[in-house]
């Protein structure tokens, strides 16, 4: 008589809890498809599943155990399981999950598995707000795609396919940014801790950098205004933070001048990128890529005081950041020591890595947006290829 499906899965859990990988693999079919939704791709075949189990158990303490809360019975081939993880007998935070398993009719071994794990980052009611905010934008894009398809004009179809391809690529980049730099577990892909497990010292560093926003408080202290003391921050991280903030600051007049994105909430997206996380700029560029191209090139209008003001502020803050990095706070060592510190910090701090990735993306987005505003043959079109400084100059002149 074949072993009931729920007994096979219970034995599988028991083997994993003992860290007995060979015993667990004895219950897995050669053609098993294991879908752990924490990973972008499923694990196909017994060898891939074994590697998953070995990686999962590597370095995990013996008292970290999977506990079955409920399991279905009665189906000889299919099982649903509710489970959680305990450490030394106490429930581990954010460790609940639900899984579905199906056995092979031929071998009676695990042939299909799908694990859904409790997410560490829980937006709560904010998820409903994001859905309500994004849904009209997506509906608008879908309607435009349908209109383009109905036109049935070859060049337009080709342009539409190109736009969709660019948009998909930008969505993938945005999703990778959010997962890798904000949500991925420590040590999985990038160094440092994710947003949901940020350490107190890292949080304090970010707060200190924010307190020294645009170097306003350090400058006031330097001229004798000391209503509160500016935190002492390493000049490298202080410079990197303010340089990135100055760059995204200068994006506001650039976005407002972009005709292709006028149907999008430009100010709201810029505000979230400026004061929350730069991850919002990628989705904006993805949505913009699906917007229709302007029908005709407008004559370049004179930039107003807003653009010039933002340009001058960005230019000044960027210059101060550069000086801060090179010679600011001399007690932190010379340039060689600072460069060495940067290399070490880049390999250990996810915040520093995220800011560096932001600078690369800003350079690409600046080139795209300025290229759309400055027509071919324009004397200032080349400024789009000068990261940061080119945007500042373009805003000022």
Q: CA-to-CA distance for 374 and 378, rounded, in angstroms?
A: 6
90 φ, ψ (degrees, to nearest 5): -110, 140
**pTM exceeding the 0.85 threshold for the entire prediction:** no
Given this model, what pLDDT does residue 77 score? 94
Q: What's the rounded Cα separation, in Å, for the pair 374 and 362? A: 18
What is the per-residue pLDDT for 161?
78
Chain centroid to CA 71:
35
Secondary structure string (H, E, C) spanning the chain: CCCCHHHHHHHHHHHHHCCCHHHHHCCEEEEEEEEECCCCCCEECHHHHHHHHHHHHCCCCCCEEEEEEEECCCCCCEEEEEEEEEECCEECCCCCEEEEEEECCCCCCEEEEEEEECCCCCCCCHHHHHHHHHHHHHHHHHHHHHHHHHHCCHHHHHHHHHHHHHHHHHHHHHHHHHHHHHHCCCCCCCCCCCHHHCCHHHHHHHHHHHHCHHHHHHHHHHCCCCCCCCCCCCHHHHHHHHHHHHHHHCHHHHHHHCHHHCCCCHHHHHHHHHHCCHHHHHHHHHHHHCCCCCCCCCCCCCCCHHHHHHHHHHHHHHHHHHHHHHHCCHHHCCHHHHHHHHHHHHCCCHHHHHHHHHHHHHHHHHHHHHHHHCCCCCCCHHHHHCCCHHHHHHHHC
* Contacts for 391 with CB less than 8 Å, ≥ 6 apart: 247, 250, 251, 254, 311, 314, 366, 370, 383
> What pLDDT is attached to residue 130?
57
Determine the longest span between alpha carbons in the chain, in angstroms.
87
Distances (CA, A) of 3 to 26, 27, 109, 304, 341: 13, 11, 9, 77, 59
**Whole-number pLDDT of residue 65:** 93
Q: How far is CA 284 from CA 40, 53, 260, 273, 281, in A?
A: 23, 39, 11, 10, 5
What is the reported pLDDT for 92?
Answer: 84
Per-10-residue mean pLDDT of the chain, 397 residues long, equals 87 95 96 88 92 86 92 94 92 89 95 88 60 62 56 52 87 91 85 84 88 93 90 93 96 92 89 88 92 62 81 96 93 92 90 93 95 89 95 95
State the pLDDT at residue 142: 63
Residues belonging to the chain: 397
All domains in the chain, ordered by first residue: 5-117 (3.10.450.50), 149-396 (no CATH)
The residue with tokens 């990128």 is 273
249: which 2 tokens? 């600051």
d(CA 301, CA 257): 10
What's the rounded Cα separation, in Å, for the pair 291 and 346? 36
């Amino acid at each position: 008589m074949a072993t009931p499906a729920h007994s096979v899965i219970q034995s599988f859990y028991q083997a994993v809890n003992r860290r007995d990988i060979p015993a667990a693999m004895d219950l897995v079919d050669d053609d098993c498809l294991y879908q752990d939704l924490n990973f972008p791709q499923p694990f196909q075949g017994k060898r891939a599943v074994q590697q998953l189990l070995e990686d999962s158990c590597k370095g995990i303490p013996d008292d970290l155990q999977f506990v079955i809360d409920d399991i279905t019975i009665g189906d000889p081939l299919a099982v649903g399981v509710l489970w959680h993880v305990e450490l030394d007998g106490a429930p581990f935070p954010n460790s609940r999950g639900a899984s579905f398993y199906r056995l092979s009719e031929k071998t009676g071994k695990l042939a299909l598995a799908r694990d859904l794990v409790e997410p560490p980052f829980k937006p709560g009611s904010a998820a409903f707000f994001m859905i309500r905010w994004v849904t009209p934008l997506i509906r608008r894009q879908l309607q435009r795609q349908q209109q383009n398809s109905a036109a049935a004009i070859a060049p337009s179809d080709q342009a539409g396919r190109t736009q969709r391809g660019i948009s998909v690529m930008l969505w993938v980049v945005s999703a990778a940014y959010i997962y890798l730099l904000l949500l991925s577990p420590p040590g999985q892909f990038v160094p440092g801790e994710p947003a949901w497990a940020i350490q107190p010292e890292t949080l304090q560093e970010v707060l200190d950098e924010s307190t020294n926003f645009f170097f306003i408080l350090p400058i006031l202290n330097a001229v004798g205004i000391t209503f509160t003391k500016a935190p002492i921050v390493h000049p490298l991280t202080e410079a990197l933070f303010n340089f990135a903030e100055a760059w995204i600051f200068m994006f506001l007049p650039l976005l407002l001048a972009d005709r292709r994105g006028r149907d999008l909430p430009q100010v709201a997206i810029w505000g979230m990128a400026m004061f929350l996380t730069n991850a919002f700029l990628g989705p904006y560029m993805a949505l913009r890529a699906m917007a229709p191209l302007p029908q005709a090139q407008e004559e370049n209008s004179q930039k107003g005081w807003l653009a010039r003001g933002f340009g001058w502020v960005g230019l000044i803050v960027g210059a101060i950041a550069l000086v801060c990095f090179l010679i600011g706070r001399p007690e932190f060592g010379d340039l060689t020591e600072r460069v060495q510190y940067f290399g070490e910090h880049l390999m250990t701090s996810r915040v520093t890595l995220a800011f560096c990735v932001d600078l690369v993306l800003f350079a690409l987005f600046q080139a795209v947006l300025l290229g759309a505003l400055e027509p071919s043959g324009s004397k200032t079109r080349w400024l789009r290829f000068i990261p940061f400084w080119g945007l500042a100059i373009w805003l000022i002149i």
